[in-house]
Amino acid sequence: MTQPTNHDHITTESGAPVADDQRSQRAGAGGPTLLQDHHLLEKLARFNRERIPERVVHAVGTGAYGYFECTSAEVRRWTKAKLFSEVGKRTEVFVRFSTVAGSKGAADTARDPRGFAVKFYTEDGNWDLTGNNTPIFFLRDGIKFPDFIHSQKYDPHTNRQEPDNVWDFFSHTPEATHQFTWLFGDRGIPASYRHMDGFGSHTFSMVNQAGERFWVKFHLKTDQGIRCLSSAQAQVLGGEEPAYLQKEFYDAVEGGDAPSWTLKLQVMPEAEADRYRINPFDLTKVWPYADYPLIEVGKLVLDRVPENYFAEVEQSAFDPGNFVPGIGPSPDPMLQARLFAYGDAHRYRLGVNHTRLPVNAPRGVPGGAKNYGRDGTMRFDDNGGRRKNYSPNSYGGPAQTGADDDAGWSVSGSVGRHGLIPHRDDDDFSQAGALYRLMREDERGRLIDNIAAGLAQVQRADVVVRSIEHFRRADADFGHRLEQAVRTRRG
């Protein structure tokens, strides 16, 4: 066989050189293939096992590396997090954009919320801000999330997304009216990942050096300006290239056009939460800017795409439970559910050692993660060597810091099944109506057409009536025009 030139030799998984990678061993020129051909069997067996379980949601994604730079000294009033410790301080980041409902291979131009997850590799460990390109969500309690996703995914019988399921669930879920109004509006399909905003969506907490707590909302405002696709444009582009947004993003970054976002905060002193006119922990609502203005604190820049998609994007794992000192959770019920669900999903999909994969490891921490976790599938480092695997111990292993725990806040009441405490102006429809009235007339027309296109396909009349009624309660004109549009489409 001719020896390769200017290339490394192919080897088996054990490192042995492979003499022929084009022909299997056979019993004679016309005979059957031999079981002893180890390279053939190993190659086929590995191929059979290449796919790992896809994400249940956010399966279609794009990733990039870059940095976050703190631009504000004022932010130290609210948090002791080290990435905000001084103006000009830079922290490496990895960001993953994604759609929510589609399976691997689905068009990334679908009308769907976009995941906007940021991993900050700080010196105090990774902080994962697992947000979306919308400031709100469909639900306010995580116990409803599996049912919501089931209604969006493939039907058990038809194996396709069914408008009946989508709208039936919505018709029983009035709190989703605000998000549906957003989703079917112009911003429901971004023209580029570079041209959309990102939001932490949930309410989070910040604690400063004095131990004072603040409730915060995170906003990543695109510096490239907002650009969106119409439904017709998205169908054409997604049909021609299902990975249209991925290609557009990679081409831009690799061409030297590094996109950036300005990080801004809304800050609410802890004492104001109880008396604010809406419940500040309700994920279906925004905090109006008039009440809590945006405050600029930093810049996010993405300037490098991954070398290997599987290693760095498919295996990336974001966990909203990954906080650093100075940043923490809130009583938001959806966030509380995600604190469990995301990490558990990664342990199922990637294994218990997924946090040691290079893209997920805490790069900013000298020496990496230090704890007593051992063993498990795919433990590819020294597994702690001969060091003890329990705490506390007398052998010099890592010990707790003893620092104050800033993750707590006062609670009261009895254990039970509770919804969020309603505040003075809380309801499921007011903010959806305000969003509708904020739109220009041409935007309202497209919103009505987009909703009617799906709702007109629903077979059950009661589902259609209930769904329209939600929008009517948001705004009478909204509901009336939608009813007329559905009737026209149905003939």
Tens digit of pLDDT at every position of the chain (491 positions) = 445 455 689 999 999 999 999 999 999 999 999 999 999 999 999 999 999 999 999 999 999 999 999 999 999 999 999 999 999 999 999 999 999 999 999 999 999 999 999 999 999 999 999 999 999 999 999 999 999 999 999 999 999 999 999 999 999 999 999 999 999 999 999 999 999 999 999 999 999 999 999 999 999 999 999 999 999 999 999 999 999 999 999 999 999 999 999 999 999 999 999 999 999 999 999 999 999 999 999 999 999 999 999 999 999 999 999 999 999 999 999 999 999 999 999 999 999 999 999 999 999 999 899 999 999 988 989 999 999 999 999 999 999 888 887 768 888 889 999 999 999 999 999 999 999 999 999 999 999 999 999 999 999 999 999 999 999 999 999 999 999 999 999 98
The distance from CA 394 to its chain's CA centroid, rounded to whole angstroms, is 42
Is 143-172+429-491 in the same CATH topology as 1-50? no
User: What distance in Å separates the CA atoms of residue 69 and residue 61, rounded to the nearest whole number?
Assistant: 24
Could you tell me the maximum CA-CA distance found in the chain, to the nearest angstrom?
A: 85
Give the ranges where 52-176 is alpha helix by DSSP (H).
Answer: 145-152, 163-171
Is residue 38 annotated as part of the catalytic site, yes or no?
A: no
Q: Which CATH architecture has domain 143-172+429-491?
A: Up-down Bundle (1.20)
The per-type count for the chain, helices as H runs and strands as E runs, is 12, 10
**Fold for domain 61-138+187-356?**
Catalase HpII,  Chain A, domain 1 (2.40.180)
Residue 219 appears among annotated catalytic residues: no
- Entry pTM: 0.94
Sign of CA dihedral 316, 322, 326, 330: positive
Q: Where does 1-50 sit in CATH, by number?
A: 4.10.91.20
From 39, 58, 346, 470, the catalytic residue: 58
Given the residues 39, 126, 132, 202, the one annotated as active site: 132
* CA–CA gap between residue 387 and residue 445 (Å, rounded): 66
